[in-house]
């Protein structure tokens, strides 16, 4: 494993960064992640008798119907949240552009590290993964490791480290790029990034 000096293609890593586009895509990503399982009961769903509380006239009290009305404690909730899907669609061009912008931003910040290859051996070893980070002097930073494709051994080696995320190129996204202080790519992953974004 050694760090490579590479000339990065300007059509992917030389895009002018516009914060609003990045914000738009991060908002879209986080909206898609929301479970939307929140729920409240309306007055038709609470468990109360439908009996009229007191006579309509003559008592001096308010003209109440049943106990489940929303102004009573334990009654139904008016206009409360119901389960819903928060996801919405965003144009593919915007998503691609934002990904290029996020990569360009990391290049501007000198936060990209390109390695010839990455390996911890045949079996997952978190200790080896930590040694790799220490050799790159990024063990106390938030690190995003980008691989050409999903590799179970590397994923399992890094997943116990709290500040490290491992993604294949096809899973590369704006939110995780902006989250990371350093982005570690293998040479193979860089080629795949070009395949995905430079065309």
pLDDT surpassing 80 at residue 2: no
Please indicate, yes or no, if residue 5 is contained in any of the structural domains. Answer: no
- The 3-state DSSP composition of the chain as helix, strand, coil percent (nearest 5) reads 35, 10, 55
Range of the domain at 158: 10-17+90-197
Could you tell me if residue 122 is inside a domain?
yes
Residues β-bridged to residue 135 = none
Number of domains in the chain: 1
193 part of a folded domain: yes
For residues 111 and 164, give the distance between their C-alpha atoms in angstroms, rounded to a whole number: 14
Q: Which pTM value belongs to this model?
A: 0.81
CATH assignment at residue 127? 3.40.1370.10
Within a domain: residue 168? yes
> Does the pLDDT at position 161 exceed 70?
yes
Q: Which of 125, 124, 162 is nearest to 143 (CA)?
A: 162
- Residues sharing a CB contact under 8 Å with residue 196, sequence separation 6 or more, in sequence order: 169, 170, 172
CA distance 119 to 128: 9
Specify the pLDDT at position 19: 94
Q: If pLDDT is split at 50, 70 and 90, which confidence band does 78 have? A: very high
State mean pLDDT over 7-23. 89
Please name which of 103, 151, 110, 102 lies closest in space to residue 129, comparing C-alpha atoms.
Answer: 151
List, as one string, the DSSP characters of 93-162.
HHHHHHHHHHHHHHHHTT-EEEES-----SS--HHHHHHHHHHTT-TTS-EEEEESS--HHHHHHHTTST
In the predicted model, is pLDDT for residue 66 greater than 70? yes
What integer is the mean pLDDT of 131-140? Answer: 86
CA angle at 45 for the pair 40 and 49, rounded to the nearest 5°: 135
Specify the pLDDT at position 91.
95
pLDDT of res. 85: 95
What pLDDT is attached to residue 199?
63
Top-ranked range on mean pLDDT: pick from 90-99, 105-114, 188-197:
90-99
């Amino acid at each position: 494993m050694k760090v490579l000096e590479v000339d990065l293609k300007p059509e992917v890593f030389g895009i002018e960064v516009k914060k609003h586009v990045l914000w738009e895509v991060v908002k879209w990503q986080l909206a898609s992640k929301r479970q939307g399982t929140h729920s409240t009961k309306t007055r038709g769903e609470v468990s109360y008798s439908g009996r009229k509380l007191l006579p309509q006239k003559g008592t001096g009290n308010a003209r109440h119907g049943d106990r489940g009305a929303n102004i009573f404690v334990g009654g139904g909730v008016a206009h409360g949240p119901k389960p819903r899907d928060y996801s919405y669609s965003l144009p593919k061009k915007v998503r691609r552009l934002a990904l290029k912008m996020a990569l360009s931003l990391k290049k501007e910040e000198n936060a990209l590290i390109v390695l010839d290859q990455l390996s911890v051996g045949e079996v997952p070893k978190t200790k080896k993964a930590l040694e790799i980070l220490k050799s790159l002097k990024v063990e106390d930073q938030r690190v995003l490791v980008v691989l050409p494709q999903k590799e179970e051994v590397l994923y399992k080696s890094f997943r116990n480290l709290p500040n490290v995320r491992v993604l294949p190129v096809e899973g590369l996204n704006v939110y995780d790029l902006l989250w990371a202080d350093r982005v570690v790519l293998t040479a193979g992953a860089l080629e795949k990034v070009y395949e995905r974004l430079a065309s």
